[in-house]
Amino acid sequence: MRAGVVGAGPAGIVAAKVLREHGFDVTVFDKYRRVGGIWSPGGCYDGLANQAARHLFEFADLPNRLHFAGAVDTQRYLERYAETFGVLECVRPGTEVVAVRPVGGPGAVGANGWTVDSRPADDASAPVRRDAFDHVVVASGAHHHARVPDLPGRDSFAGTVLHSNDVRSGTFAGRRVVVVGGGKSALDLATRAAHEAASATLVQRKVNWMIPERFVLGTVGYKWILFTRFGEALLPRYHDPACVRPIDRIDDRVKRALWWLITRDVLFSAGFYRLPKRLRPTRPLPFHLAHAGVMPRGYVRALRRGLLKAEVSTVEAFTGDGLRLAGGRRVPADVVVFATGHDRVFPFLDLPVHDRAGRLRLYRGIVPPGVDRLGFVGFRQVFNNPLGSELTAHWLVRHFLGTLRVTADEPGMRRAVDARLDWQERALPGTGGYDFGPYDLHCADELMHDMGLPSLRTGNPLTEYLLPGGVAHRYRDLSAPATRDPAG
């Protein structure tokens, strides 16, 4: 059977690797010249760095020692992975996918396979090539379609307006820079501007939580807190009863008390206590923990030294020489960078996969109910995305082959999607049906349960519950139990 994979980022290459292990003839399409997705040259802003501590950004079959690595080293690891497992030979680099359609038209919803139309990424006038596939995996990534607010006065502004994706070396040098946004990329770029620009200002609607590299007064790496079963047990209870363990039923009063302590430790360890109160999060953890990134090194220091100014406000409009904030305050700028996120859309896909609220409606965050032979990898976002993508790929291949131990019919899938989205609105507000945030182990357990594989991986309860469990090496050799001739 033939499988087409859209995207050669981390999700795409691991999906291709797992498909190949099960005998599929794989073709990977990617618009960049090198594999890696946002980690490829030109894939994202200059200076993008990995948030993962050692042994977190890796796949099960290829360990590495990356530790808060830069884009070059991260891309090099991904390319080595693709080469090691024969994925590079399947990639069509510099190729843009312009359409993915079910064979036989929309009414067929994939039962007869899919066609993929593509062309050279740098030539919109080039003829379109059409390929037919039995299955298609969408792994196009969630950080490519920039979201930039449409503000009044744009034509009057004499400076440069960019999305964070478009920042390159030298963009800030000697200029007045304003970065709009409150997430990890916004803080990254504002910190960089503080050292390169003539002036640097960060404008954020609210102050988001940022995770310190080390917890417990700066002494314990974050993975020893966030990537353990005990740590996840303190979160609001997971929606899938099959993944709820006795430890997850800790009394809510105990959880609140522990989160009170954790909140204060994060305020100290991340450096928030050294900032004015207006520059600290206003809601206690775990509120909006799913949106938290790792606190950029140098951010707090730049604020304290006056190299960076911060405004907690909304932007109302452009002016001739900058921005106007709520209340009328004006901020001068030569460069305005919107680090305002991305739209998770698929312009090439002739199929609706969002609800009216813009949330992704995917069963298990992977397959659209009622659609055959199509799946998504990389859109079941967790803190440890390489592991999340790898387990998703194994689940999806079993779904294609019909070897999942636990599955649901179309009405059951739709009910499960509704229940999960309702839970996400309560536990992970604003995640759009995409981001599972800190639930690494619960998400892993759910997929392992469906595949009929043991979710507890060590046989030692202390190791399982107190040591980091959301790590790839515990999930080696998952292909063997499901191997089957895909032509059969």
Residues 181-220 pLDDT 10s: 999 999 999 999 999 999 999 999 999 999 999 999 999 9
**Residue of higher predicted confidence among 373 and 488:** 373
Q: Judge whether 273 and 281 are in contact, CB under 8 Å.
A: no
Q: Judge whether 40 and 34 are in contact, CB under 8 Å.
A: yes
The pLDDT tens digits for 385-408 are 899 999 999 999 999 999 999 999
Residue 356 and residue 307 share a domain: no
DSSP string computed for 424-471: HHHHSTT-TTTB-TT-HHHHHHHHHHHHT--S--SS-HHHHHHS----
**CA neighbor of 22 nearest in space, from 193, 139, 137:** 137
Residue 322 and residue 435 share a domain: no
CATH of the domain at 41: 3.50.50.60
What tokens were used for 268? 């100290």
Question: What pLDDT is stored for residue 483 in this prediction?
Answer: 42
292 pLDDT more than 80? yes
Q: Is the CA virtual torsion 144, 424, 446, 238 positive or negative?
A: positive
How far apart CA 176 and CA 198 sit, in angstroms, is: 5
What tokens were used for 398? 């079993």
Beta-sheet strands, E only, within 56-198: 91-92, 95-102, 114-120, 129-133, 135-138, 160-163, 176-180
Residue type, 180: V
3-state SS assignment for residue 279: helix
Residue type, 17: K
Residue 18 and residue 94 share a domain: yes
The pLDDT tens digits for 239-264 are 999 999 999 999 999 999 999 999 99
The pLDDT tens digits for 303-353 are 999 999 999 999 999 999 999 999 999 999 999 999 999 888 899 998 889
375 pLDDT more than 50? yes
Sequence-ordered list of residues with C-beta below 8 angstroms from that of 306, at least 6 positions apart, any chain: none
pLDDT tier, 485 (very low <50, low <70, confident <90, very high otherwise): very low
Q: Which of 338, 371, 388 is where one domain is finished?
A: 338
Question: Does residue 487 lie in a domain region?
Answer: no
Convert 88-121 to b/e letters by CB count within 10 Å (16 or more is b): bebbbbebbbeebbbeeeeeebbeebbbbebbeb
DSSP string computed for 207-238: PPPEE-SEETTTTEETHHHHTSHHHHHTSSPP
For residue 181, the enclosing domain spans 154-338
3-state SS assignment for residue 65: coil
Q: Judge whether 96 and 31 are in contact, CB under 8 Å.
A: yes
The pLDDT tens digits for 33-60 are 999 999 999 888 888 888 898 889 999 9
* Placement of tokens 């953890």 in the chain: 285
3-state SS assignment for residue 330: strand
484 pLDDT more than 60? no
Question: Does residue 126 lie in a domain region?
Answer: yes
**Residue of higher predicted confidence among 431 and 173:** 173
Residue 358 and residue 315 share a domain: no
Q: How many CA atoms lie within 13 A of 478 on its CB side?
A: 34
Question: Does residue 71 lie in a domain region?
Answer: yes
Question: Does residue 488 lie in a domain region?
Answer: no
Residue 96 and residue 17 share a domain: yes
Prediction pTM value: 0.94
Residue 365 and residue 333 share a domain: no
Residue 88 and residue 211 share a domain: no
pLDDT tier, 110 (very low <50, low <70, confident <90, very high otherwise): confident
Residue 182 and residue 131 share a domain: no
488 pLDDT more than 80? no
Question: What pLDDT is stored for residue 106 in this prediction?
Answer: 63
Question: What pLDDT is stored for residue 34 in this prediction?
Answer: 95
What tokens were used for 355? 């609800």
How far apart CA 54 and CA 60 sit, in angstroms, is: 14
Residue 194 and residue 177 share a domain: yes
Question: Does residue 397 lie in a domain region?
Answer: yes
**CA neighbor of 363 nearest in space, from 379, 349, 348, 351:** 379
Question: Does residue 291 lie in a domain region?
Answer: yes
Question: Does residue 396 lie in a domain region?
Answer: yes
The pLDDT tens digits for 18-35 are 999 999 999 999 999 999
Sequence-ordered list of residues with C-beta below 8 angstroms from that of 90, at least 6 positions apart, any chain: 5, 16, 20, 26, 27, 28
Q: Which of 304, 338, 372 is where one domain is finished?
A: 338
The pLDDT tens digits for 407-462 are 999 999 999 999 999 999 999 888 888 889 899 999 999 999 999 999 999 889 89
Residue 477 and residue 413 share a domain: yes
Question: What pLDDT is stored for residue 104 in this prediction?
Answer: 85
Beta-sheet strands, E only, within 36-110: 91-92, 95-102
**CA neighbor of 4 nearest in space, from 21, 17, 16:** 16
Residue 347 and residue 252 share a domain: no
The number of domains in the chain is 2
Mean pLDDT (the chain) is: 93
Q: Which of 307, 338, 369 is where one domain is finished?
A: 338
Question: Does residue 59 lie in a domain region?
Answer: yes
Residue 128 and residue 84 share a domain: yes
